[in-house]
Structure 1
Amino acid sequence: MREIEAKYRVGDIEALLAALKQRGLEFSDPVRQDDQAYAQPGWDYGMPKTGSVFARLRTQDGRHTFTVKRPLSNEMECVEHETPVADRDQMHAAVMEMGFRPTVRITKTRRTATTAGMTLCLDEVEHAGYFLEVEMTVDDDRDGADAQAHLDTFVQELGIHTERTTDTYDSLIRAATTG
């Protein structure tokens, strides 16, 4: 499976909510996500992410999920594998044993909505601000850049001010807290 997304910094949350409500969309109740990001051995910030493997250990509502992503043509198009895990501490130890290293802890509050094969995530990311992720999961060979252009068109048609970013949350948080 591939996850293809486009991400936007959002300044006016109420305008976004109103634009989506006008289209008949409403976000779910908020959930808190606690993510630990990991990088493969040999990768460090400043190096390209495409082709490297990254892991994430997420806790949400007392449940833990382990995810591995490998960016393809850009950081917003990834091969993704995900599975529930019973014990976060043991999974963390296993990831460390495989040589991965923890990079950034990402805590956010997320609300979601779905429409036309897309998932919309409104995230309040600690240390980084508010973001809208629009994503699709595909199992075909469609062009990632074309899919991202489709997602971008959807966001532009909302008619609200957003700022598109190609950075992942770990990079955004790292930049906000170290520089």
Structure 2
Amino acid sequence: MQEIEVKYRLYDLCGLERALADRGLVLSAPIFQDDQAYAHPDWAYGQSKIGVPFARLRTQGDRHLFTVKTPLANELACLEHESEVADRNQMHQAIIQMGFRPTVRIVKTRRTAQVAGMALCVDEVEHAGLFLEIEKVLDADESGTAAQERLNAFACSLGVELERTTDTYDSLVRAALAPA
């Protein structure tokens, strides 16, 4: 399956909440997510991510999820495989043994809503700020870029101030933490 995303820096949370309420949508209670990102040892920031597999280990409550994403058309249109794991530390060691290296820790609070097959995520990301992320799952043979344009049209229809970014959270956090 493909996970397709569009991401926006969010400047008016109250305005977004009003726009969602006008559509009968309410964001969930906040959920804390602690993500460790991993990269292939031959890849470095500044290089293209297209076609390169990346791993993530997420803890959310008492659940641990292991995810591998491979960007296809762009960094936010990825082939994705995900599975729950029992022991975060053991999975971390297994990822290292597979040759991946830890890159950035992404810590965020997420609130979600679902509409028309889309997941709307409002994320407060430590060091990076407040974002709206809209996600949709597609079959592997569907066009990710066409889906991103539909997701973008939905975001624009909300009528709130948003600034689209094509960066992933790991890149945004890394940039925020880089020495000036």
> How far does residue 106 in structure 1 lie from its aligned partner after superposition?
0.3
CA–CA distance in 2 between the matches of 1:162 and 1:11? Answer: 6
Compute the displacement of 1:140 (Å): 4.9
- Equivalent residue for 1:174? 174
1:56 — aligned with what? Answer: 56
TM-score scaled by length of structure 2: 0.98
SS at match of 1:107: strand
Question: Structure 2 CA distance, aligned partners of 1:11 and 1:70?
Answer: 30
For the residues of structure 2 that align with 1:25 and 1:140, how far apart are their CA atoms? 29
**Once the two structures are superposed, what CA deviation does each residue of 1:113-135 show, in whole Å capped at 9, x if it has no partner?**
00001010000000000001101
Runs of at least 4 residues of structure 1 off by over 4 A?
none
In structure 1, runs of 5+ residues without a counterpart are: none
User: Which residue number in structure 2 is paired with residue 143 of structure 1?
Assistant: 143
Q: Distance in 2 between matches of 1:57 and 1:101?
A: 12
1:51 & 1:141 partners in 2: Cα distance?
15
Instruction: Within 5 Å, give how 1:46-125 maps onto structure 2.
Output: 46-125=46-125
Q: Does the 8 A contact of 2:79 with 2:140 survive in 1?
A: no
Partners of 1:76 and 1:42 in 2: CA distance: 21
Distance 1:49 1:169 in 2: 13
Deviation string 1:7-53 (CA, Å, 9 cap, x unpaired) is: 00001110111111111111111000000000012001000001101
- 1:131 pairs with 2:93: no
1:45 corresponds in structure 2 to: 45
Task: Please list the CA deviations of residues 80-139 of structure 1 after superposition, one character each: whole Å capped at 9, or x if unmatched.
Answer: 000000000000000000110000000000011000010100000000000011010012
Distance 2:142 2:53 in 1: 22
Structure 2 contact 37–104 (Cα < 8 Å) conserved: yes
Q: SS where residue 45 of structure 2 aligns?
A: coil
SS of the equivalent of 1:73 reads strand
Identical amino acids, percent of aligned pairs: 62
What secondary structure does 1:72 align onto? strand
Figure out how many residues of one structure are paired with residues of the other and give that number.
Answer: 179
**Coordinate RMSD, CA, aligned:** 0.7
Other-structure match for 1:35: 35
